[in-house]
Amino acid sequence: MRLHVIIAAAIVAAASASAWAKLPSPPVTDELKAKAEEVKKKQAEAAKKDADLLSKYQDKAAENYRRNKGVKGGAPAATKVKKK
């Protein structure tokens, strides 16, 4: 009984995959290119905004940690790495 279900599922998957592969891609027009450019710009702006917010809240968290743990001073000094 299970074997019939597995075979049927495999046939359906193969048929749908072959049908999907035959669909042509839509033609690229100037309008679609412009829309893609606009979407890229919006995504870039959103990514920049997210990065700025992340940086702001990381700084806020670090300041809170320093304040509550009693660490004095600003950002930690860079350490030199010794090469062997």
29-51 residue pLDDT tens: 999 999 999 999 999 999 999 99
Structurally, the chain folds into a number of domains equal to 1
pTM, entire model: 0.48
Is 3 a member of any domain? no
Does residue 50 lie within any of the structural domains? yes
In a domain, 26, yes or no: no
pLDDT score, position 64 = 92
- pLDDT, residue 84, reads 59
36 domain residue, yes or no: no
Residue pair 71/65 in contact (Cβ under 8 Å)? The answer is: yes
Any domain includes 81: no
In a domain, 37, yes or no: no
Name residues of the chain where pLDDT drops below 70. 1, 18-22, 70-84
CA distance 6 to 13: 10
Residue 49 burial (CB count, 10 A): 10
In a domain, 64, yes or no: yes
What is the sign of the dihedral through the CA atoms of 64, 70, 73 and 77? negative
1 within some domain: no
The boundaries of the domain holding residue 64 are 42-68
